[in-house]
Amino acid sequence: MSSINVRDVAKFYGSQQVLFDVNVAIEHGEFVVLVGPSGCGKSTLLRMIAGLESVSGGEIRLGDELINDVSPQKRDVAMVFQTYALYPHMTVEENMLFALKMRNQSPQECAVALKQVSEILGLGDLLDRYPKQLSGGQRQRVAMGRAIVRNPQAFLFDEPLSNLDAKLRSHMRTEIRGLHQRLGSTSVYVTHDQVEAMTMADRIVVMNGGRIEQIGTPIELYDNPANKFVAGFLGSPTMNFIDGELRVEGNDAAFISHHQHEFQVDSHANMGDLRKRRATIGIRPQNITLTPVDSQGDAMVGRVRVVEQTGSETISVVDFLDTEIIVQSPRRQLLNPDQMVLVEFDMAAAHMFDAQNGLRLN
Amino acid sequence: MRSIGKFSPYLLIAPSFFLSVFVIGYPIFDVVRMSLFKVNRFGKLQKFNGFGNFTKAFSDDVFLQTIGQTAIWTVSVVGGTVLLSIPIAMILNEDFYGRSVARTIILLPWAVSLAMTAVVWTWVVNGDFGTLNMTLNSLGLMDGNYVWLANADAAFTIVILIGILVSIPFTVTIFLGGLTSIPDTLYEAAMTDGASGWKRFRYITMPLLKPFTQIAVVLNVIYVFNSFPLIWIMTNGGPANQTDILITYVYKQAFRFGKLDKAAAGSVVMFLMLVVFTILYFYITRDKHPAAKKAKQPDGAALEDLNVSKA
């Protein structure tokens, strides 16, 4: 196992730059998830660590070794591909032992490794099968077995679960996480699914447009997003945003929505001077409560549009202050469409973002 | 639709079926019949001769010699073609500047008729004013002219080389199709698994190209075994029948010496040889793991489709 150090890394395709000054230090034994919308450069970064893409600038180190120009077959990292990339003409056993064979390991060593890994992954009965005779989940497991059997310096996962159905995906999520706890291997995992990122990562790297937005543990990023992008990307349902104006006077701060509704806000050092500025308030669906009311008088009243019952909780879409907010109540709340509701924000949990650069102000 | 009943599919293919029987089946029947009868030089059947025509053919030294030459010709041309086509296809499968031009150039010989190619090459190797002699002379590699086609070994080598040249376009096309069907991620996986370039070729490219190699070998053997124009135009089987192959031998027997019965027997022998070869070849190279054949992996899907369309 080894640490991975990515320093000032850039990537160009021709004159187009797709990665800008990427810096990540992945520690020995850490499970790091690269997450972001498609096209954000997360897969490119992973493939650069694997050696499948050249490094246009900066340096990548595996342990202490600079690996910028080391060919992929000489880097001791294993990769699990989105399409599994199992060799279709080889049995499960041959697939798993391919890497060992390429490294001229003795048959005895192969047998020991094969036995151990197939036990861990429960592949014992499948060793003579061909990939096409396996289900999606089994193929996924073989692909992981192929990586584990080598006992590499690091594991790289490129959206390994995106071809599986929802149920299997959540099952494999737990399985991969459990495997990591058992093997303690340095892992880099790429996904566009924020649920995977939140549930699996020791640390998450949120990427957008070829840049890193924020790095931190899932809870840190969830509670203290550095900017509006991170806040909106993590968490499900996504955070609600309301545009308006922030006015700060001494220790008093207030947020005035476009609808002239005023929210009291705790002032914060980041809010700076006394001037007013355009800002966005961000509040998670879990931090809003709805109470049915009769009248329409109060500005804090909204109209329910859609109600989704999951059985244990209620998700409502509410027209509120000219926009649409999503509210998740942790219990069964019987609301009807078109019903008027009083909307209450838990302001202590609200975030304030600068409307210009998206940075968090509180 | 239902009212037409279960015979409707047969009804619908009936016209093409009978056309095929007429166009393909009848000539085979006719040549087999001729091979069993005495036939005069105008093609009229005389009397039943049993296997007499075959005995006559097999007691002809030239016929036996021709069988050997046909084997050399077929194995050399097909072997050379396949060995050259795989690397050519691999190069053309790489992404490089001017690839489409290179692909066109490789495919160009396909667009020229065999007869035309043969005529051109006859002039190239011509002993008196061929460009081959001229080039070798001006490079200082040779002094004076050499009549290439007058020497049996040289002539046979030359027709084999040209045979390879004209078979390459078709074969490269097959292999290009095969290579495109191998997903890049397999190579990436093999790379991270530590496979060097040669090992990726040996363990990924070769096995996955196997079905395409089979098709290329079988189709080329059939074409080359029966290939008439090159040899006929360039050497006419000469000198002294030493570049004759079965097809030119049969043609000579039929239309030069008027021995249609013997020629028919030769044709039947050729036909049986090809049938036996094809069966034997598919038996030898059959998939020992039938399961692996139709890889039903998302990656393998393209491979599978191509397999089906080629088969």
Per-residue pLDDT tens, chain B, 311 aa: give them: 455 577 788 889 999 999 999 999 899 999 999 999 988 888 788 888 888 889 988 999 999 999 999 999 999 999 999 999 999 999 999 888 998 999 899 888 888 899 999 999 999 998 888 899 999 999 988 888 888 888 999 999 999 999 999 999 999 999 999 999 999 999 999 999 999 889 999 999 999 999 999 989 999 999 999 999 999 999 988 788 999 999 999 999 999 998 899 999 999 999 999 999 989 888 887 776 554 444 444 443 333 333 333 33
Backbone φ and ψ of A16, nearest 5°: -90, 125
Segment A234-274, tens digit of pLDDT? 988 999 999 888 888 777 788 888 777 788 887 776 676 65
**The three-state (H, E, C) secondary structure of chain A, written as one string:** CCCEEEEEEEEEECCEEEEEEEEEEECCCCEEEEECCCCCCHHHHHHHHHCCCCCCEEEEEECCEECCCCCHHHCCEEEECCCCCCCCCCCHHHHHHHHHHHCCCCHHHHHHHHHHHHHHHCCHHHCCCCHHHCCHHHHHHHHHHHHHCCCCCEEEEECCCCCCCHHHHHHHHHHHHHHHHHHCCCEEEEECCHHHHHHHCCEEEEEECCEEEEEECHHHHHHCCCEHHHHHHCCCCCCEEEEEEEEEECCEEEEEECCCCEEEEECCHHHCCCCEEEEEEEECHHHEEEEECCCCCCCCEEEEEEEEECCCCEEEEEEECCEEEEEEECCCCCCCCCCEEEEEECHHHCEEEECCCCEECC
Q: Would you call A163 and B298 a contact, using CB atoms and an 8 Å cutoff?
A: yes
Instruction: For B183, name the nearest residue in chain A, comparing CA atoms only.
Output: A85
Average pLDDT over residues A75-101: 93
Per-residue pLDDT tens digits for A141-168: 999 999 999 889 999 999 999 888 888 8
Task: Examine residue B33 and state whether it is found in any structural domain, yes or no.
Answer: no
Instruction: Report the DSSP pairing between strands B45-48 and B37-39.
Output: antiparallel
**Which of A43, A76, A87, A133 is best to mutate for the B interface (most B CBs within 10 A)?**
A87
Q: Do the domain assignments include residue B7?
A: no
Q: Which of B183, B188, B306, B193 is nearest to A88 (CA)?
A: B183
How far off is chain A from B95, nearest CA to CA, in Å? 15
Q: How far is B167 from chain A (nearest CA, A)?
A: 29
pLDDT of residue A272: 67
Whether residue B189 and residue A71 make contact (CB cut-off 8 A), yes or no, is no
CATH 2.40.50.140 in chain A, residue ranges: 240-354
Residues of B in contact with A188 (CB under 8 A): none
Residue A99 at interface with chain B, using a CB cutoff of 8 Å: yes
| Helix, strand, coil percentages in chain B from 3-state DSSP, rounded to 5 | 75, 0, 25
B15 occurs within a structural domain: no
* Cβ contacts of A98 on chain B, cutoff 8 Å: 190, 193, 195, 203
What pLDDT score does B41 carry?
Answer: 81
CB of A351 within 8 Å of a chain B CB? The answer is: no
Q: Is A350 in CB contact (< 8 Å) with chain B?
A: no
Residue B195 sits at the chain A interface (C-beta within 8 Å): yes
Please state the rounded mean pLDDT for residues A52-74.
92
Contact B298 A83 (CB under 8 A): yes
- pLDDT score of A225: 94
In a domain, B112, yes or no: yes
Place of tokens 């795989």: B86
Cβ neighbours of B299 in A, within 8 Å: 83-86, 88
Name the minimum distance, in Å, from the CA of B187 to any CA of chain A: 9
Confidence (pLDDT) at A94 = 93
Of B196, B199, B300, the CB nearest to A88: B300
Lowest mean pLDDT among A209-213, A226-230, B109-113: B109-113
In the structure encoding, which two tokens stand for residue A56, read together?
Answer: 């246009």
A12 and A55 Cβ atoms separated by less than 8 Å: no
User: Which sign, positive or negative, has the C-alpha torsion A271, A272, A274, A279?
Assistant: negative
To the nearest whole Å, the CA of B193 is away from the closest chain A CA by: 5
> Cβ B203–A98 below 8 Å, yes or no?
yes
Q: Please list every residue in chain B whose beta carbon sits closer than 8 Å to the beta carbon of residue A145.
A: none
- Specify the domain boundaries for CATH 3.40.50.300 within chain A: 4-233
Instruction: Provide the pLDDT for residue A164.
Output: 85
Nearest to B193 among A52, A102, A133 (CB): A102
Structure tokens at A298: 């109060």
Q: Is residue B31 part of a domain?
A: no
**What are the tens digits of pLDDT across the range A133-142?**
998 889 989 9
Domain count for chain B: 1
Phi-psi region of A84 (alpha: psi -120 to 50; beta: other; left: phi over 0): left
Which of B186, B196, B199 is facing A85, going by the closest CB pair?
A: B186
Q: How far is B298 from chain A (nearest CA, A)?
A: 7
Residue A124 clears pLDDT 50, i.e. is over it: yes
Q: Does B182 touch chain A (CB under 8 A)?
A: no
Determine the pLDDT at residue B161: 95
Contacts of B186 in chain A (CB under 8 A): 85, 87
ipTM: 0.85
Chain A CB within 8 Å of residue B193 CB: yes
Q: Residue A66's pLDDT is what?
A: 93
Whole-angstrom CA distances from A143 to A147, A155, A191, A246, B193 are: 7, 12, 17, 52, 12
Q: Assign A219 a pLDDT band (cuts: 50, 70, 90).
A: very high
- Chain A's closest residue to B187, CA to CA, is A85
Q: List the CATH number of the domain containing B230.
A: 1.10.3720.10
Let me know if domain A4-233 sits in CATH 3.90.1150.10: no
Strands A187-191 and A31-35: parallel
Which of the residue ranges A66-80, A303-317, B236-250, B284-298 would you say has the lowest mean pLDDT?
A: B284-298
Residue for token pair 């450069």: A41
Looking at residue B220, its pLDDT comes to 94
Omega before B27 within 30 of 0, i.e. cis: no
Residue-range definition of the domain harbouring residue B65? 53-310
Phi, psi for A350 (deg, rounded to 5)? -80, 150
Taking a contact as any Cβ pair under 8 Å apart, which residues of chain B between 148 and 167 contact chain A?
Answer: none
With beta carbons under 8 A apart, name residues in chain B contacting A81.
185, 188-189
Pick from B185, B195, B300: which is nearest to A102 by CB? B195
Dihedral sign, Cα of residue A316, residue A320, residue A324, residue A325: negative
Of B183, B186, B296, the CB nearest to A132: B296
Exposed, middle or buried: residue A305 (CB in 10 Å: 0-12, 13-18, 19+)?
A: middle
The partner residue sitting opposite A52, judged by closest CB among B191, B195, B295, is B191
Range list of β-strands (E), chain B: 37-39, 45-48
Give the integer Cα–Cα distance in Å for A64 and A54.
19
pLDDT of B108: 86
DSSP codes, B209-269:
HHHHHHHHHHHHHHHHHT--HHHHHHTTT-STTTT--HHHHHHIIIIIS--HHHHHHHHHH
pLDDT for the residue numbered B144: 82
Cβ-based contacts of A131 with chain B (< 8 Å): 295, 297, 300
Whether residues A74 and B194 touch (CB distance < 8 A) is answered with yes
Phi, psi of B181 (to 5 degrees): -80, -10
Whether residue B185 lies within 8 A of chain A, CB to CB, comes out as: yes
Establish if B39 belongs to a structural domain: no
Q: Give CATH for domain A240-354.
A: 2.40.50.140
**DSSP 8-state code for residue B48:** E
Give first-to-last CA distance, chain A, whole Å: 39
User: Per DSSP, which regions of B5-131 are E strands?
Assistant: 37-39, 45-48
How many inter-chain contacts (A to B, CB under 8 Å) are there?
99
Torsion from C-alpha of A193, A196, A199, A202, nearest 10 degrees: -100
Chain B positions in Cβ-Cβ contact with residue A46 (cut-off 8 Å): none
